[in-house]
Structure 1
Amino acid sequence: MATGKVIAGIKIPDSAIAGQATELLREHGSDLLYNHSLRTFLFAALEGQQNNTRYDPELLYVSAVFHDLGLTPHYRSEDKRFEVDGANAARDFLKSYGVSPQMLQLVWDAIALHTSPGIAEYKEPEVALLNYGVALDVVGRGYDKLPANYREEITRQFPRNGFKKQIIPAFFDGFKHKPHTTYGSINADICACMIPGYQRKDFCDAIRQSPWQE
């Protein structure tokens, strides 16, 4: 298990909470999601370190571990955004450890908003850092800011293994049964990419077709 290791100068939390969270990711996730989630934590933590940002490493780690678990059969719902499913799962998990309501909300927000650019970066450090780490791993945001030796060390420990080709189908598999939940989010792009002839709900149409008589 990766907990307790120091990678690129960042120690992966090795508390009981971190260990159990990792076991759940291993049990219900895939190698793709495991490696992505651990890279996300390390990228996020390095960004925090480089900017002298104060954050809770354990909460950031749990947020990273759970952030995509809402895509998995065990945690996904029939009617909620996958981010909300993951956030709910993390909150339920942390409740069993007696984590304070404030910290529960912090982790919930970090996961629920991790695909919300333009919002997450203005919230608490753990929320902003998770969003940053996810974006760096998925679309390369801040790639040139991270020293090459760190990138190489992290991807050696947690390989990408064709991540760019695999992650779009993996995202889609998590919410193909409920494409309506992607309305208003970047995940609508995934549906448009993967479903032939997919018609996104249009906000302007929703305004014009509202029941108000005027």
Structure 2
Amino acid sequence: MPDQSNTPGQNSEKKHVTRRTALERGAGFAAIGAASALASAVSVSPAAAASGPAPHAGAWDPKADALPKEVAGVRIPTSEVAVETAAFVRRVSSETLFNHVMRTYVFSALLFDRRGVRYDRELAFLAAALHDLGLVETYQTQAERFEVDGADAARRFLRSRRMPAERVEVVWDAIALHTSVGIATRKRPEIAMICVGSGLDFAGNDLQQIPSDILEEILTAFPRKGFKQDAIDNILSLCRTKPTSVLMHPFAEVGRRHIPDFPVPTVEDLLLAAPFED
């Protein structure tokens, strides 16, 4: 994702927004989904922020977009919507990000298959493939968390493919909750799988459960290609361009480590700034 930290008009606004200023504007942070003091200086209409650009599959080249039928014994769904989804995600994502979402599916399917868990393979694949659309600049709003941006973009895409609403909502939940381990893992398998699979690929959670030869096969099919640095770059881009979205989000810690005078308050800051006399 391109670094937008030097966009004209944004730097001049942000360099004057200190943590103290943010706390003085505390009410703005309470309404994360609304316009806030840290929103980008570039204006976006409420309608555009709510709906965002509508993803579409576009032309599909079966030779260029074809996926293997299976990886490490995990079957890749071949339904029309699964094929169109994979082709769409490949076109809008970097190769590094596309390979990550594919590994997310394969890792999660391996773990859940070995545990004997029954799940809807197509839904799990769709949710995994679409789960990081919120890291693609085209689908980002000004203030929503990247998980919600991604879930909303996935919902629009699947609705355009005329997928039944109840199935679309499972995918939405899986994407919106995929960084909330304590919640997602208590939900239905297709939701839990995206959290588990992405967590394994991101931080190595449960990696010891994947035999070395199986891991090598997965990484050959979908190479990492500098995933760690790419992820850090994406996180910092969100921190710089839409800091409101990382309020009380783990990504804020990356912003505080790397960005001088990072303006997003901590949970403690919010608590101490609450307008009550204790």
* TM-score tier (shorter): over 0.9
1:71 maps to which residue?
Answer: 135
Post-superposition Cα deviations, 1:114-141, rounded to whole Å, max 9, x if no partner, equal 1112111111111111101001101000
Larger mean Cα displacement after TM superposition, 151-160 or 103-112: 103-112
- 1:190–1:67 Cα change, 3 Å: farther
1:148 maps to which residue?
Answer: 212
* Moved beyond 6 Å, runs of 4+: none
Q: Does the CA-based 8 Å contact 2:131-2:151 persist in structure 1?
A: yes
Larger mean Cα displacement after TM superposition, 2-11 or 107-116: 2-11
**Alpha-carbon distance, 1:102 to partner:** 2.3
Q: Does the CA-based 8 Å contact 1:116-1:185 persist in structure 2?
A: no
How do 1:52-67 and structure 2 match up within 5 A? 52-67=116-131
1:169 maps to which residue?
Answer: 233
Query: Is 1:22–2:78 an aligned residue pair?
Result: no
- 1:110–1:27 Cα change, 3 Å: same
How do 1:1-214 and structure 2 match up within 5 A? 1-3=65-67, 5-212=69-276
Distance 2:70 2:104 in 1: 15
- 1:47–1:205 Cα change, 3 Å: same
TM-score relative to the length of structure 2:
0.72
Larger radius of gyration: 2
Distance 1:2 1:132 in 2: 25
**Alpha-carbon distance, 1:176 to partner:** 2.7
TM-score relative to the length of structure 1:
0.92
Supply the RMSD in Å over aligned alpha carbons: 1.7
Post-superposition Cα deviations, 1:166-186, rounded to whole Å, max 9, x if no partner, equal 321133334531112111221
**Alpha-carbon distance, 1:92 to partner:** 1.1
2:6 maps to which residue?
Answer: none
Equivalences, count: 214
Distance 2:212 2:116 in 1: 20
**Percent identical:** 38
Gaps of 5+ in 1: none
Post-superposition Cα deviations, 1:30-81, rounded to whole Å, max 9, x if no partner, equal 0110111111110011111011111111111111111111111211111111
Gaps of 5+ in 2: 1-64
